[in-house]
Structure 1
Amino acid sequence: MSVAVVIVAAGRGRRLGGGTPKQYLPLSGECSLQRAVDAFLAVESVARVVPVIHPDDASLAKTALVTIDDRRLMSPVAGGETRARSVLKGLEALQDHRPEIVLIHDAARPFVSAEIIAAVIAALDKADGACAALPVVDAVWRAADAGPPQPVSRDGLWRAQTPQGFAFDRILDAHRRHDGSAADDVAVAVEAGLHVRFVKGSEQNYKITTDDDYARALSDIAAAKD
């Protein structure tokens, strides 16, 4: 099975303090983008990896990826005005290679495991799409400016992670038909009528979004070296 990967690194990281986008912040000698790319290049079935970056981040991406010597790593492509449009740019960069399936992953998730990647790929044998996810276990409330908070049932609620994998031709067509507003690729797939399965993610597969997340990532890396 031919597998390609889109690494979405076009975000600007506005929720994280400082001027450097989160995917390029140093993590013990490597940034999150580099760690994410390395994780997928370590998978033998992966034939292509294409990073999608913000047009203003070409220099940052070059510095992050210059040490990776692997012909499967394609040159970064510039993203679009939304996450979904950026994913579409990545998919279109892959279309001449005609992969059977594609995995779409957030560059700000540097700790994705080989087990999660394998589980998403395996789930695509019986579905059009697959998503790493975790069931919601905390109490959930809906709050409004007026009136008391209202409890929300956790039954059937999941926290989506990445990678999210799909039959390549079907997700490319779905993104081309989509208006570009979706928060993730499962939303695009479901809107297009694709059958998507969830597979078990990991709490360690977190996304670096806030200063606390970044501090946690640094701590986790330091602990792993001890």
Structure 2
Amino acid sequence: MGIVVVAAGRGERAGASKDGPKQYRTIGGRPVIVHTLEKFASWELACHIVVVIHPDDEALFAKVAGLVQSGVPIDAVHGGATRQQSVLVGLRHLRGNDLSHVLIHDAVRPFFDHALLDRIAGALLAGVPAVLPAMPVADTLKRADLDGTVLDTVSRSHLYAAQTPQSFAFEPILAAHEKAAAANLADFTDDAAIAEWAGIPVRIVEGLADNAKLTVKRDIAMADSRLSGQTLPDVRTGNGYDVHQLEAGDGVTLCGVFIPHDQKLKGHSDADVALHALTDALLATCGAGDIGDHFPPSDPQWKGAPSRIFIEHAAKIVRERGGTIMNADVSLIAEAPKVGPHRDEMRSKLSEFLGITIDRCSVKATTNETIGFVGRREGIAAIATATVVYRSI
């Protein structure tokens, strides 16, 4: 996939600095743009990066480019007078590289992660032509007149705050930008708006609470404080435990994987004891109650429901509260069926449900040495641990 990083802005709202525009200012000992470029350069699906810079910033960019560790080509081109024009320059530069998709990102959004990029890529590779990472609007919205008098309260239902990288099938978004330029339309606020205007369907995927744009001087100071270790990292660990009774049946579902067996787990939903325990572990990291608070077993709508609904809901709550899921570990306690042959598929499912890489997902199993209800094959138990890092600024 191609990457266009837009870095031609002047950043007047961030104030003057000897380091130049805000994308070249230092946070955590390195320029903002270096953090951004290295995040893309270390992503396994990135194959070509083009950085669109201001003509006056050639020396600045040449200096920081040497700090970027990258195994993929990184080119610099001069941008235009507006962001829209700069993006078109970047897209034109990538033309001819046989790219299927392109991600367009603001240089001054350094706090994204590979999990977000993987969510975007998953949608693109599934055939979605345009993908917009976004977060539901959490603040109450007011409409006011010119003198600041409130006219009414705007419902925030179905409203989202757009982020980048906004990502597209390459040829359609290039054609849409060319068409807008030919029509002298220059008032689009982002690339998704151009796609909408061109009739390209845009799909929202869950963004990242940390993925904020560094706009004013205070944003840069807070980012520097965060990366310089002046604040303690907010690392939280949650634990979850669940058990379900076994009864005669044709198989059990564990970590989202159905395993044929001569018994099944009894429960209101699909009784996936592993996902239930992990759901509680995630909710525990932000004090959001437990699975029963969100999905009461007395509610008939959850009868037979797949437990991926529960785990994805918990992951969404964590992200909305500023958390980044770092690790998920599940221990299954059962005499049967054998978990080992299905472990990798279970880890893959956890990776999919949580939006994290598979190396951050662990599934283990042990027996109870024929002791107790587990030993008598009356039930299966699960213990889960989740590690989440929350924003400290």
Q: Which TM bucket (shorter chain)?
A: over 0.9
Residue 152 of structure 1: how far off its partner (Å): 1.0
**Aligned 1:29-44 pairs, distance under 5 A:** 29-44=29-44
Cα deviation, 1:131-163, whole Å, max 9, x if unaligned, reads: 111000100011212583121110111100111
Aligned to 2:191: 185
Distance of 1:145 and 1:206 partners within structure 2: 28
Cα deviation, 1:185-218, whole Å, max 9, x if unaligned, reads: 1001110011111111112111100112112201
- 2:6 aligned residue (5, 8, 11): 8
Residue 29 of structure 1: how far off its partner (Å): 2.3
Distance of 1:127 and 1:138 partners within structure 2: 29
Cα deviation, 1:153-178, whole Å, max 9, x if unaligned, reads: 10111100111110000000000011
Aligned to 1:216: 222
Contact 1:83 1:180 in 2 (8 A): no
Q: Under a length normalisation based on structure 2, what TM-score does the superposition of the two structures give? A: 0.55
3-state SS in 1 of match to 2:64: helix
The 1:215–1:67 alpha-carbon spacing in structure 2 relative to 1, beyond 3 Å, is closer
Residue 69 of structure 1: how far off its partner (Å): 4.8
Aligned to 1:57: 57
3-state SS in 2 of match to 1:209: coil
Q: CA RMSD in A?
A: 1.6
3-state SS in 2 of match to 1:84: helix
Aligned to 1:195: 201
Distance of 1:44 and 1:83 partners within structure 2: 27
Q: Under a length normalisation based on structure 1, what TM-score does the superposition of the two structures give? A: 0.94
Aligned to 1:140: 141
The 1:120–1:191 alpha-carbon spacing in structure 2 relative to 1, beyond 3 Å, is same
The 1:63–1:225 alpha-carbon spacing in structure 2 relative to 1, beyond 3 Å, is farther
Gaps of 5+ in 2: 234-393
- Output the amino acid matched with 2:16: G
- Output the amino acid matched with 1:18: A
- Output the amino acid matched with 1:103: L
Distance of 1:198 and 1:7 partners within structure 2: 20
Question: Using CA pairs below 8 Å that are at least 6 residues apart, which structure has the higher relative contact order?
Answer: 1
Residue 15 of structure 1: how far off its partner (Å): 0.7
Distance of 1:25 and 1:146 partners within structure 2: 36
Aligned to 1:75: 75
Comparing 57-66 with 100-109, greater Cα deviation is found at 57-66
Aligned residues: 224
Distance of 2:148 and 2:165 partners within structure 1: 38
Aligned to 2:130: 129
Cα deviation, 1:83-102, whole Å, max 9, x if unaligned, reads: 01100000000002020000
Gaps of 5+ in 1: none
Aligned to 2:165: 163
Distance of 2:60 and 2:221 partners within structure 1: 21
The 1:99–1:18 alpha-carbon spacing in structure 2 relative to 1, beyond 3 Å, is same
Residue 44 of structure 1: how far off its partner (Å): 1.1
- Output the amino acid matched with 2:87: V
Identity of aligned residues (%): 38
Distance of 2:46 and 2:69 partners within structure 1: 15
